[in-house]
Structure 1
Amino acid sequence: MSSMWYECKVKYRKTDDTGVQKVTTEPYLVDAMSYTEAESRINEEMAAYISEEFKITNIKVANYAEIHPFENSDRWFKSRVSLLAYDEESGKERKTNMYVLLQANDVKEAFDNTVRVMTGTMGDYTIPAISESPIMDVFPYFSGEEGDLEQMEKFNAIKASKPESGAVAVEDEMEFDAEIVSESY
């Protein structure tokens, strides 16, 4: 049996930066085997973060094929990856979409992280869409066994790392054919 990801919406009172309390609903992702387990797990996880009363308003199956935390990232992005395959019988190219949830600080970094995740993929693929996800946090399932405990600690450490402040130098690694560049000007 394999587990699935469930998106759980939680409604609670949140105090903003100015000290005003406001009722908000935020989506979270939990790894579970059923809706019942997802409800139990989100109750357990949220009880650790929210001291006041909260309500679970919705639970649905999330359509993510993979979840990838990245260090020094604070937001979650949803990447649509189209896997390309050639159907020999019909002679046509077929696309199969899958969705990957990953951490990044902006869309460009999300694109770079998606490419990094897809490195080593045997087939061809394209990345037709990347959007910021409203997901606030991800709670994977770990059995509690010793090897699993290390994996959970590593996942949580990567997920919780914060972006470094200050400007980051970006090195341009793009290469262009000199003939094509000179023809376009």
Structure 2
Amino acid sequence: MSTTWYECKVKYRKTDDIGTQKVTTEPYLVDALSYTEAESRINEEMSAYISEEFKITNIKVANYAEIHPFENADRWFKSKVSLMAYDEESGKERRSNMYILIQANDVKEAYDNTISIMKNTMGDYTIPAISESPIMDVFPYFSGEEGELEQLERFNALKGSKPELVAVGDMGESIENLIEAE
């Protein structure tokens, strides 16, 4: 069964660096089976971080195919990956887009992380866009069962992984596509 991610917007009073309080709304991602479970999970997760009252203002299904955390990264980026396939019936090339949420420190690192994730892909692909996501944090599902303990450990191992550096020659066409997209 594939993972369904829900984007939950949480409104609460936040204290900034100078000590003033401001009401802010921030999006978070939770892995859940339904809207009801997403609401319950975000309440549980946020109550550990926010001592005052907070309000969930919106819950919607997120359109991420995959989530990839990386260590020493503090921001999330949305990578649009276009997979290319040849349609034998019409004789035309077809593109299908998927969105990957990547953790990185800047756009270049997000691009490098996307390349490292896609390196074992058999088909052709391009990366037409990478943008910073407003997502503040990601909460994967974990029930405590042993089979799921492996999944959580794998997710946490990905947070601890470091992307391999790609030689500049391997990125030529994709960098041109990124430059053209801007």
How many corresponding residue pairs?
Answer: 167
Q: Which of structures 1 and 2 has the bigger CA Rg?
A: 1
Local SS of the residue matching 2:168 = coil
Spell out the pairing of 1:10-25 with structure 2 (5 A cutoff): 10-25=10-25
Unaligned runs of 5+ in 1: 162-170, 177-185
Dislocated runs of 4+, deviation >3 Å = 153-159
Distance 1:2 1:120, change over 3 A: closer
Equivalent in the alignment of 1:91: 91
Whether 1:173 and 2:162 are equivalent positions in the alignment is no
Distance 1:108 1:140, change over 3 A: same
Equivalent in the alignment of 1:134: 134
Shift of 1:157: 6.9
Whether 1:64 and 2:58 are equivalent positions in the alignment is no
Matches of 2:158 and 2:14 in 1, distance apart? Answer: 26
Distance 1:71 1:34, change over 3 A: same
- Among all aligned residue pairs of Structure 1 and Structure 2, give the percentage whose two residues are the same amino acid: 82
- Normalised to the residue count of structure 1, the TM-score between the two structures is 0.84
Residues 7 and 59 in structure 2, CA contact (< 8 A), matched pair in contact too = yes
Local SS of the residue matching 1:130 = strand
Whether 1:26 and 2:20 are equivalent positions in the alignment is no
Shift of 1:122: 1.0
Equivalent in the alignment of 2:82: 82
Unaligned runs of 5+ in 2: 171-182
- Normalised to the residue count of structure 2, the TM-score between the two structures is 0.85
